[in-house]
Chain A
Amino acid sequence: MRAIARSPWVRMATLATVGALALTACGGSDSADTTAAADTEATAAADTATEEAPAADDAAATTECTEKTPVSLQLQWFVQAQFGGYYAAKDKGYYDEQCLDITILEGGVDIVPQTVLAQGGADFAISWVPKALASREQGAGIVDVAQVFQRSGTLQVSFADKGITTATDFKGKKIGNWGFGNEYEVFAAISKAGLDPASDVENVQQQFDMLALLNGEIDAAEAMTYNEYAMVLEAVNPDTGALYTPEDFNVVNYNDEGVAMYQDAVWASEERLSDPAYQDMTQRFVTASLKGWIYCRDNAQECADIITANGSKLGASHQLWMMNEVNKLIWPSPAGVGMIDQALWDQTVNIALNTKNLEGATIITADPGAAAFTNQYAEAADAALEAEGLNVTGDAFAPIDVTLNEGGN
């Protein structure tokens, strides 16, 4: 072994192997440039070489489409109503209208959507803003081009008898969070309430179910309004034999606590945004997607059905609940759907910059700057959709009543 190890050939082979491995890791960047823009009139119209927004009527696909441009979207999780707008847009032909041939890529436990985007595995990705900003700081070139969710959907749910109604009540309690980078709103709320996360609160990582809360092992559990909260309302209360009701619980809403961070947004590749063809694709994609979200706002049940038809395993009532709750996070969008509000962006950045978790780490260490997001595509999309006669602010939006059944069926 010694003789072999001393051989210069082995050393060279080692270097070569390490080199080869690393090269394959970064070799993927060019693979997605297959979206060679077909010579459609839509792209010809986007011949503005600068980064100015294309003219409004280009976004409204009244032009003829000879060959659709392939587009891929990487979701953040599995198929569910959280991504209703995109599936509705696909189903209702809105992407076709924009001369786009859409492929929606499902997410999963190990899929990091913004990395997939940055490496060229998809043209666009859905990701929460804080995690996307963290990736951006580590070199992933991505830009927020449509802030779909206007509000945070994160709650801390607890049984009513614990009396936990605001973050100050976390003191001395067992507070659950999901870890995996989802813990920052919780920690921000704890800090804002003047508590020390390390000593005033017992932090426990939950699994992606609500059993720890229902078993009484933790006092308050992290939950999304549209998903995990429904899980507890679909569970049977052993004392009554009927389902739990909202009166059985208290919820702490992180928007109300003032520590909400922006969540689901559409991200695009920063590098490709200097290419007019990609700019045009982005515009068309955003327009069609937002139109899909408008459809889901006005047709929640149909949208839920579209999701189920696309392979979601969630039960019917759970799916409708999710659709409805997601609508509540999007609508109303006072400035128009997909627009970023500077104040909430700044709050997001601020928390990401300053909130420490138990390791003492923050999400980002430097302000991402203005280049991290843009409103130009959402603005143009809203204008185009309004011109079609659609309501883009949802000012008259009223959520529906959803009855949950056991197990979400």
Chain B
Amino acid sequence: MSERLKPVWTPLLIGVLALAAWELLVIVQDIKPYLLPAPSLIASNFFGDLGLMSSTAFYTGTTAIMGLAIGTILGIVAALLAVRFSVVNNLITPLAAGLATVPIIALTPILNNMFNITSRTPRVLVTVIIVFFPMFVNLTRGLLQVQPVQLELMRSMNASPKTTLRVLRIPNAIPFFFTGLKIAAPLAVITALVAEYFGGPQQGLGSRIASSAANTAYGRAWAYVVASIVVGLLFYLVVLALERWSTPWIGHRRSN
């Protein structure tokens, strides 16, 4: 038996023990499914129809990706404008902050009524709005937070603001981009899911969780929750991998 548990084994072990305790509790206390489903029930619902789980997850995941992509592009454009025109920064930041605090559950019905409820559009829009703020804030910070000595260096090399943007600010902003993305990606999944509670096509995780819960089928509802966790984790891990690949210096002390 290895004395040094690898870092990944320990949380896994705790997770397994927690699940076992949960299962034991349900059995020993005879807790009925309408109160608390056992992990075994959830597992049988999840693995019992993996095709359904994955198609449902795929639907919501697609909404999330579309919202994430559009929100990120808008964030990039706004950040570039904010760097170029400080008045833009002063305008957008409070606006974006305000929008970000409006809860999804308030935004979605409004957008459902403004746009065609039978399409994906309202849900994608909510996701875009929620994703925009972290992306914009982090990107702007990344573009602006360059070291004074680096700016002096650029000036000493007779670089124009445009050149400085291209050569210094944008590469400098890439780690910040990923910081924003690591927040925005799981957020996009959550938003896409919650937005499905309020009407529209019903093939997604949010709709099905709500429907199952309303029918007291909590085993199935939790199985869909597991699927959402998988989707959220997937998004996050992809971003993490992209970050590692594009900014290898992150783990090391910066050279200055």
Contact = CB atoms under 8 A, between A and B. Distances in A.
Are A and B in direct contact (Cβ within 8 Å)?
A: yes
Interface of A: 2, 5-6, 10-11, 14-15, 18-19, 22-23, 25-26, 112, 114-115, 118-119, 131, 134-135, 137-140, 174, 179-183, 202-207, 211-212, 215, 217-218, 357-361, 363
B62 interface: no
A211 B116 CA distance: 11
Top 5 closest pairs, chain A to chain B, by CB: A139-B32, A181-B214, A138-B34, A180-B214, A5-B10
Contact of B11 (A5, A180, A357): A5
Contacts of B25: 18-19, 22
A241 to B, nearest CB: 22
B31 A212 contact: no
Nearest to B22: A18
Given A140-B32, A217-B116, A2 B10 contact: yes
Contacts of A207: 109, 112-113, 117, 198-199
Contacts of B214: 112, 131, 179-182
B207 interface: yes
Given A115-B35, A181-B214, A183-B211, 13 more contacts: A2-B5, A2-B7, A5-B11, A19-B21, A25-B36, A135-B216, A139-B33, A182-B214, A203-B201, A204-B117, A206-B199, A207-B199, A217-B116
Interface residues of B, number: 45
Interface string B46-76: 0001001000100000000000000000000
Nearest to A118: B34
B29 A26 contact: yes
A138 to B, nearest CB: 4
Interface string B134-177: 00000000000000000000000000000000000000000000
B14 A11 contact: yes
A23 B202 CA distance: 35
B220 interface: yes
B216 to A, nearest CB: 4
Contacts of A202: 118
B218 interface: yes
A140 B215 contact: no
29 contacts: A2-B10, A10-B14, A11-B17, A14-B18, A14-B21, A18-B25, A22-B25, A25-B31, A26-B29, A26-B35, A112-B216, A115-B35, A135-B216, A137-B216, A138-B32, A138-B34, A140-B34, A179-B202, A180-B211, A205-B201, A205-B202, A207-B198, A215-B113, A357-B211, A358-B203, A359-B52, A359-B56, A359-B220, A361-B212
Interface string B2-35: 0001010011001001100110011001011111
